[in-house]
Structure 1
Amino acid sequence: MSDVAAPEFTIRKITIQIEEILHEGGPLAATPVLRGAVYAICANPFAGRYEENLGPATDALKPLALLLTDRLVTAMGGRDGIDAYGKGAIVGEAGESEHGAIWHVAGGYGMRERLGECRAIVPSAMKVGGMGSTLDIPLGHLNAAYVRSRFDVITVACEDAPRSGEVLFALAMARGGRVHSRSGGLEMDQVKGEDGLR
C-alpha cells in the first residue's frame, strides 16, 4: 500500500442513458434489448503534470465505481438478466490516456462487486478527447467472452465534457445481445462459465 495521499476526483455531474432496442430493420424482438451507460465527469488531479505513481488513484476511484454501478443497475430495472458489461474513459486535453487507464481496475471492481460472479474480462476503451468527444464502449458477456451475440457497443458523449482538466469515467451494461444476432459462435445455452471464455 502506498503512503502517497489518494488523489481527489471531484464529481461535477453524473449522467445515465438507457437504450431499448426493439428492432434494427428486422422483426420486432419478443423481448427488447436493453443497453445502458452511466458516466461521471470528474476533476483530473493529474491534469497538466506528469505523475509517476498513479497507483493510489485506483483505490480512490473504487467508491465511484460502486456508486455508478448501483445507479446503472437501478436505472436498468435491477440486476436480473444483465449479461454483458464494459467500461471506458475520456481524458480531457490537459491529461494523458494513462489517466483513463486507472479506471480499468476500479471500474471492473465496481461491476464485479455488485453483479456477482463475472468470469470474463471487462472490455474497455479510453482516449484523450475534447468536449463532446464520443466514446464507443465495447460490451462483452459477463462469463463467456466467446458469446458473439454480446459483442456490441454503446456510445457515450457529453457536449460540455471533458473539459481540459477533467475525466469522463463510464460504465456500461446490457440485458440481451444484438437484437438480430445471427453470426453464429457460442450460444447462451452453451455457456459453461468456467474460464471466462466459453
Structure 2
Amino acid sequence: MQEALKVDELDLRKVVVYREEVLTEAGERPAAPAAQASVAAVLRNPWLGTCPSRDLSPEVLRVAPGLARVLTGHLIETLGSVDAIEAFGKAAVVGNAGEIEHGGALIHTPYFGNLMREFLDGESIICFADARAEAGTTLVVPLWHKTHAATRSHYQTVTARIPDAPRSDELVIIAAASTGPRPHPRIGDRTTDPAVTAQKLESSLS
C-alpha cells in the first residue's frame, strides 16, 4: 500500500483563496454577518490517459489526504478558526481530457471527505458539486451546517471560478465554508416544519 503524500509533496500548480463578507442585505445589516470562503487546489490529473476500468484507489490514497489538509488549513486561516466555521461544502472540476469520475475520486472518498469533516469538527454529510469543464468555468458550491444538516438557515452557496483552470489535463478540487447563515434567515427549520403533503394542501384549500 502506498503512503499518502505529505502536503509539500503534492504536485499543485496553484492554490486560489476567495473570501467575502456580506455587510448589508436589503438595506440592513444582518444580525450575524457571515463570511464565506472557498479554497481551490489546481493539480495535474493523475489518471490522465488511463482506461475507464482503471482502479483509482492507489492515487486516491496518495493524493486525497494531503488535499484535505491543504484546503481545510487555508479555510481555517481565512475564516479565523475551526470554531468560526459553521457550514461547509466541497467540489471538483475536471479538465476536458479527464473523466468526471476523476473528480469524484478525490472528493467522494473517506480519504478526503472524512478528513475534511474531522479537520473542521463537522458531523454532517458534506454537500458537493462536480463538473467536467473548460478553464474559467464558474461552479456553484452548495453548503449546509457542518453539524446540523437540517438547519435551513445555513443552506447557501459559494461561487468558485479560476480563469486559467482547469486546463484539459488538470483537476480543480475545492473546499468551501461559511461562518454563519444567509443574511436575514426567516424560512424556518426542517426540524420544526409541519408535515406537508399534496393531499393536506388540497384539503386546506378546498
Into which bin does the TM-score normalised by the smaller protein fall?
0.7 to 0.9
Question: Structure 1 length as normaliser, TM-score?
Answer: 0.85
Question: Structure 2 length as normaliser, TM-score?
Answer: 0.82
Q: Secondary structure at the match of 1:72?
A: helix
Task: State whether structure 2 residue 77 is matched by structure 1 residue 70.
Answer: no
Preserved contact between residue 10 and residue 66 of structure 2 (Cα < 8 Å): no
Which runs of no fewer than 5 residues in structure 1 stay unpaired?
A: 191-198
Amino acid at match of 2:78: A
Amino acid at match of 1:91: V
Q: Secondary structure at the match of 2:112?
A: helix
1:131 to 125, 131, 135: 135
RMSD: 2.2
Q: Secondary structure at the match of 1:109?
A: helix
- Residues 57 and 168 (structure 1 numbering): CA distance in 2 closer, same or farther, change over 3 Å? same
Match of 2:119 in 1: 114
Amino acid at match of 2:153: S
Preserved contact between residue 87 and residue 171 of structure 1 (Cα < 8 Å): yes
Q: CA deviation at 1:39?
A: 0.6
Preserved contact between residue 23 and residue 180 of structure 1 (Cα < 8 Å): no
Match of 1:56 in 2: 58
Give the aligned length: 185
Which whole-Å CA distance do the structure 1 matches of 2:58 and 2:128 have between them?
20
Which runs of no fewer than 5 residues in structure 2 stay unpaired?
A: 193-206
Amino acid at match of 2:188: G
Q: CA deviation at 1:34?
A: 0.8
Which whole-Å CA distance do the structure 1 matches of 2:48 and 2:24 have between them?
42
Match of 2:154 in 1: 150
Runs of 4+ in 1 over 4 A off after TM superposition: none
The within-5 A match list for 1:78-93 is 78-93=81-96
- Residues 182 and 26 (structure 1 numbering): CA distance in 2 closer, same or farther, change over 3 Å? farther
- Find the structure with the greater CA-based Rg: 2
Match of 1:193 in 2: none
Match of 1:173 in 2: 177
- Residues 24 and 57 (structure 1 numbering): CA distance in 2 closer, same or farther, change over 3 Å? farther
Match of 1:195 in 2: none
